[in-house]
Amino acid sequence: MDSNIFQGDALNVPQAEKVYGWGMTQYSNSPVLKPSTEEGIKKIFSIANRDGLKLVLRGGGNSYGDAAINSEGLVVDLSNYNKILDWNEETGTIRLESGVTIQQLWEFAIEKGYWPPVVSGTMFPTIGGALSMNIHGKNNFAAGTLGEYVTQFTFLTAKGEKVKCNKKENTELFYLAIGGIGVMGCFLEIELKLKKIYSGKIRVYPKATKNLQEMLDYFEENYQNSDYLVGWIDAFASGKALGRGLIHKAVNLKQGEDPNHSQTILLKNQILPKRFFGVIPKSWMWLFLYPFTNNLGMKFVNFVKYVVGIPFEKPYLQGHAEYSFLLDYVPNWKFIYKPGSMIQYQVFLPLENAHNALSEILTTCQKHKLVSYLAVFKRNKGDNFFLSYIMEGYSLALDFPVTKKNKDKLWALTYQLDEIVLKNKGKFYFAKDSTLRPEIAKQAYGEKVVNKFLTFKAKYDPNGILQSDLFKRVFLS
């Protein structure tokens, strides 16, 4: 196993290739190693410590910016380290290798009556990558982050020690590695608890809201009786309509509420269809959106989406996969940005400042004529992980196109938005980040936290073998 990676006790380094962040804006030219065993990962770490190599760990490569690329060394792609090891149907506890994806996980679990407790808007992240960023989902306000469902894991620290971590043993590393942006070491085997479900469907309640205040009010009135809540915002709307959008609240069906549960729970009834209207291959869909990928076209698309959504406020049933992974419906949708690319700018704001801060963010983008083409809104709650980005309040994720022409202006805009976030005591999300500067990270996370993170880094990685372009940009420059 992994014999192609090694030549005796040295690495058999392949030719460098272009490795991209998901948004296609950042890339590095790096040789990529793909270990499929724990022994392979250990040996790579040991050689890197001996020979002074620099590595970045990479899962599914779904972080938008530069979290899983490394312009000064090798990429260790963990997607082949992907076996499901153990399953306990009674407790819903699963043990898996860290390269298992969310897709593998839900496809394994659904017919057994379980669903991952937290998923991202795409099913392609690995569990190791998702834990390194400690992802949140549309149920964050109730369920918290993915890390909260981890019962234990084994971790290979960068200096090569294998450590078992849970909430009682090696707690420092437990709370540090989860959300630790992949620079302390590598998740090996992960054990986590899944959520029981009784039906393959959830009940969705769509709601159009005329402005940001209405959206906030709906969230506040509904979050305690919802399992999931997500808002889409038309970022082009201004004046009295600023922040208008559509909300999709969803509630799990309880035992007895789905007479067809033995059918709806089947995997074959969850898989996203390969064609739209049974005719157009989904993989072509981005081509239809391509002509609209400019300010005018996206203003129109956002307007139509809002207007068409107004009369459809009747609840309906939808499959878990369809509701959770809407973005995967249109494979390669990011290609609409070609020949340019995209970034996502996501901020988290405390409850009391959310309305003012979000209004200022939306109007600032409009003033600069750099309006987000896709804006997604969520309700959040805090957690206890060391480098936590999340808090009781709201988050807004803004997708922006990047072109040669707008890049400098766009970066300048994000710097201005950073100031709005800081003055409102908000934070940023490393999984999405492309633009954050060290001084802003220090202010948002606190100088003490950042310094302590670097002290931990020296302790678990004295030779500095684990890096990423994100880590160098935000923590070392």
Ligand X SMILES: Cc1cc2nc3c(=O)[nH]c(=O)nc-3n(C[C@H](O)[C@H](O)[C@H](O)COP(=O)(O)OP(=O)(O)OC[C@H]3O[C@@H](n4cnc5c(N)ncnc54)[C@H](O)[C@@H]3O)c2cc1C
Binding site residues, ligand X, CB under 6 A: 22, 56-63, 67-68, 78, 98, 120-122, 125-126, 128-130, 132-133, 135-137, 181-182, 186-187, 327, 431, 468
Nearest distance from C-beta of residue 69 to ligand X, angstroms: 9
Shortest Cβ 59–ligand X spacing (Å): 2
Q: DSSP character for 473?
A: I
- Identify which of residues 145 and 414 has a Cβ nearer to ligand X in the complex: 145
| Cβ at position 119, least distance to ligand X in Å | 8
Of how many residues is the chain composed?
A: 477
Shortest Å, Cβ 332 to ligand X: 11
Shortest distance, position 77 Cβ to ligand X, whole Å: 8
Closest approach, Cβ 78 to ligand X, in A, equals 5
Given a contact cutoff of 8 angstroms between Cβ atoms, the answer to whether 73 and 30 are in contact is yes
Amino acid identity, position 334: K
- Residue with Cβ nearer ligand X (112 or 338): 338
DSSP state of 238: -
**What b-and-e string marks burial along 440-476, b requiring 16 or more CB atoms within 10 Å of the CB?**
bbbbbbeeeebeebeebbeebbebbbbbbbbbbbbbe
- In sequence order, what are the residues at sequence separation of 6 or more whose Cβ sits closer than 8 angstroms to the Cβ of residue 295? 369, 371
DSSP per residue, 356-378: HHHHHHHHHHHHTT---SEEEEE
Q: Which of 136, 164, 163 is nearest to 148 (CA)?
A: 136
Query: In angstroms, rounded to a whole number, what is the distance separating the alpha carbons of residues 359 and 250?
Result: 26
**Pick from 62, 353, 429, 396: which is nearest to 230 by CA?**
396
For residue 12, give the amino acid letter. N
Minimum gap (Å) between residue 138 Cβ and ligand X: 7
* Smallest separation (angstroms) from ligand X to the CB of 186: 4
Which DSSP state fits 126? B
Q: Tell me phi and psi for residue 343, to 5 degrees.
A: -130, 160
| Closer residue to ligand X (CB): 40 or 129 | 129
Q: How far is the CB of 376 from ligand X (least distance, A)?
A: 8
Output 183 or 242, the one with its CB closest to ligand X. Answer: 183
Dihedral sign computed on CA atoms, order 451, 453, 454, 459: positive
Alpha carbon of 75 to those of 235, 237, 292, 401: distances in Å?
36, 42, 35, 26
Least distance between ligand X and beta carbon 134 (Å): 8
CB 31 within 8 A of CB 17: yes
Sign of CA dihedral 72, 401, 361, 428: negative
Please report how close the Cβ of residue 184 comes to ligand X at its closest, in angstroms: 8
- Of residues 133 and 391, the one with the C-beta less far from ligand X: 133
Q: At a CB cut-off of 8 Å and minimum separation 6, what does 301 contact? A: 289, 292
Please answer whether residues 155 and 187 qualify as being in contact, where contact means their C-beta atoms are separated by less than 8 angstroms: yes
- Indicate the burial class of 430 (C-beta count within 10 angstroms; 0-12, 13-18, 19 or more): buried
DSSP codes, 192-259: EE-EE-S-SEEEEEEEEESSHHHHHHHHHHHGGG-SEEEEEE-TT--GGGTT-EEEEEEEEPPTTS-T
